[in-house]
């Protein structure tokens, strides 16, 4: 296995053994990016000089015997919705094409403190609105397993760069499945932590009550390591929870005695591809072999979750994106006339079609005469979705099902059908509405060689148990060790 195919944990071990330097690791990944980027288009920004400086600093620390951080010398790619001091942060939008933040997001600060090497910014659906990374204003990222297909979204660049061995780990954000869905479609691990577990300071907001930052990796050991680095209280984020962060890596291989797995009937029905269902059922049988008990659970309001999500999220997006008007923030039109026309033209030029669509939906559902009928009702449904999970977790430790209804679809296949695109998130949005943690891990491939994801959901702040349950499956399979031929 070449250097770029190794996990972050393996790269750290190689450095500690003196067999490779941080600079050598970074140069290997930069070479892979240069070679593969014309096909994959994972990045909006590659910081070659900055990456080399960071790697040299790690090597210098080691040379004089100074202690290094948990991710020392490990290249990390960061979704282009997270602020990085002194380097462009665009949200893959023309609206922010020239924005250079004066500060780092909290999670980027944590990465730097852990001595990781921030190697670049990854492509995404504009302002994190999409399920395919086709809504980027700059380029369409491709799936490393089949470059005619999408990598998922909105964190498609972060998933593709890990799957394509352009970085061993990356950060994404998950508002309705934007980490777990692309992780499943690209055959990597992706986690959405509990809402409040990871600070959102420096995350350019889409829907503030739903957004959460989380890791992508090849395996669960790297996922646990990265979560240890980014999780924790941050007083700059009022939604950040002041709770101790477990040492996830220390307990990862501990079995969960008396494991009860909830299997929701609502996740197995019309619209689920037969190959996806077969792979998930095979994973459940593997858990039974290891002594787990399968428990039938019901999440009856799942059928309303997608509709509720596509009211709540656009409503918050309409509010959050109001600041980008060409006057206060963002692109300003060259066709300046009166104030209102400048606002309209700036927003019209700066935002893409999907962002405009969601702003209009959000503005409508918040408008006088419609707020109670749509937005308030959606909030009531959200509460019922949360109650469903509370009741389910009273009888099981985790809920397991498919991450996506299908494998990766072709580029352009659903671009003109927003409703078909939204259905890609049918199994993921309820997790965000409920504020619970979710995880997607590889569990197989279709006959045509496309990855399949297994989704685990857990009670709030039980990421540790969720990781341990996932590791029980990962330890008996080799799906996570496979790499695409590019």
Write the pLDDT tens digit of every residue in 88-122: 999 999 999 999 999 999 999 999 999 999 999 99
pLDDT digits (tens, 9 = 90+) for 225-268: 999 999 999 999 999 999 999 999 999 999 999 999 999 999 99
- What the chain holds in terms of domains, given with CATH numbers, is 3-257+462-481 (3.90.1300.10)
pLDDT at 336 over 80: no
pLDDT at 149 over 90: yes
- Alpha-carbon distances of 451 from 163, 188, 298, 373, rounded to whole Å: 10, 9, 27, 40
Residue 199 annotated as catalytic:
no
Active-site entry in 154, 240, 424, 430: 154
- Does residue 1 register a pLDDT over 80? no
Pairing status of strand 75-79 against strand 169-173: parallel
Give the pLDDT band of residue 74 (cuts 50, 70, 90): very high
Task: Give the lowest-confidence range in 166-175, 308-317, 339-348.
Answer: 339-348
| Bridge pairing between strands 293-297 and 117-122 | unpaired
Token pair 């071990």: residue? 13
- The answer to whether the CB of 190 falls within 8 A of the CB of 439 is yes
Of the pLDDT bands very low, low, confident and very high (cuts 50, 70, 90), residue 83 is: very high
User: What was the pLDDT predicted at 483?
Assistant: 98
Catalytic residue selected from 21, 92, 155, 178: 178
Find the mean pLDDT for residues 10-25: 98
Q: Which residues contact 311 (CB under 8 A, 6 or more apart)?
A: 361, 365, 374, 375, 377, 378
Tell me: cis bond preceding 154? Omega within 30 of 0 counts: yes
**478 pLDDT exceeds 80?**
yes
Which one from 6, 21, 42, 79 is the annotated catalytic residue? 79
- pLDDT single digits (tens) 53-67: 999 999 999 999 999
> Annotated catalytic, 79?
yes
42 catalytically annotated: no
Average pLDDT over residues 367-381: 96
Instruction: Give the H or E element holding residue 221.
Output: helix 220-230
345 membership: H or E segment, kind and range: helix 339-350
Q: pLDDT tier at 274 (50, 70, 90 boundaries)?
A: very high
What pLDDT, on a 0 to 100 scale, did the predictor assign at position 420? 87
């Amino acid at each position: 296995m070449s250097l770029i195919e190794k996990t972050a944990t393996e790269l750290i071990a190689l450095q500690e053994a003196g067999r490779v330097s941080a600079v050598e690791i970074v140069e290997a990944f930069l070479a892979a990016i240069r070679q593969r980027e014309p096909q994959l288009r994972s990045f909006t920004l590659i910081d070659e000089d900055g990456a080399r400086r960071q790697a040299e600093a790690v090597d210098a620390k080691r040379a004089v015997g100074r202690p290094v951080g948990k991710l020392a010398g490990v290249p990390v790619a960061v979704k282009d919705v997270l602020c990085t001091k002194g380097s462009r942060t665009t949200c893959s939008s023309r609206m922010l094409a020239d924005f250079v933040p004066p500060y780092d997001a909290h999670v980027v600060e944590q990465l730097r403190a852990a001595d990781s090497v921030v190697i670049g910014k990854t492509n995404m659906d504009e302002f994190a609105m999409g399920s395919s990374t086709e809504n980027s204003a700059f380029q369409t990222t491709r799936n490393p397993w089949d470059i005619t297909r999408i990598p998922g979204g909105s964190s498609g660049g972060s998933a593709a760069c890990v799957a394509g061995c352009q970085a061993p780990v990356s950060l994404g954000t998950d508002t309705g499945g934007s980490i777990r869905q692309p992780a499943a479609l690209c055959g990597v691990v992706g986690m959405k932590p509990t809402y409040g577990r990871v600070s959102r300071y420096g995350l350019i907001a889409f829907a503030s009550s739903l957004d959460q930052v989380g890791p992508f990796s090849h395996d669960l050991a790297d996922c646990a390591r990265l979560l240890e680095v980014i999780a924790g209280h941050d007083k700059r984020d009022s939604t950040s929870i002041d709770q101790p962060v477990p040492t996830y890596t220390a307990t990862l291989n501990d079995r969960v005695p008396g494991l009860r797995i909830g299997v929701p009937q609502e996740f197995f029905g019309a619209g689920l591809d037969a190959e996806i269902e077969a792979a998930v059922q095979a994973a459940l049988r593997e858990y039974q072999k290891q002594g787990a008990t399968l428990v039938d659970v019901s999440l009856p309001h799942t059928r309303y979750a997608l509709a509720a999500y596509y009211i709540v999220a656009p409503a918050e997006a309409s509010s959050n994106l109001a600041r980008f008007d060409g006057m206060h923030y963002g692109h300003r039109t060259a066709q300046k006339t009166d104030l209102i026309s400048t606002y309209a033209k700036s927003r019209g030029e700066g935002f893409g079609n999907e962002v405009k669509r969601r702003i209009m939906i959000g503005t409508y559902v918040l408008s006088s005469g419609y707020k109670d009928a749509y937005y308030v009702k959606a909030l009531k449904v959200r509460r019922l979705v949360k109650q469903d999970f509370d009741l389910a977790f009273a009888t099981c430790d985790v809920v397991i099902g498919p991450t996506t209804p299908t494998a990766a679809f072709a580029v352009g296949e659903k671009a003109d059908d927003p409703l078909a695109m939204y259905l890609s998130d049918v199994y993921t949005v309820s997790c965000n509405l409920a504020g619970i943690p979710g995880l997607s891990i590889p569990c197989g491939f279709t006959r045509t060689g496309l990855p399949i994801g297994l989704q685990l959901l857990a009670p709030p702040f039980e990421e540790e148990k969720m990781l341990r349950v996932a590791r029980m499956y990962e330890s008996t399979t080799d799906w996570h060790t496979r790499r695409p031929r590019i």
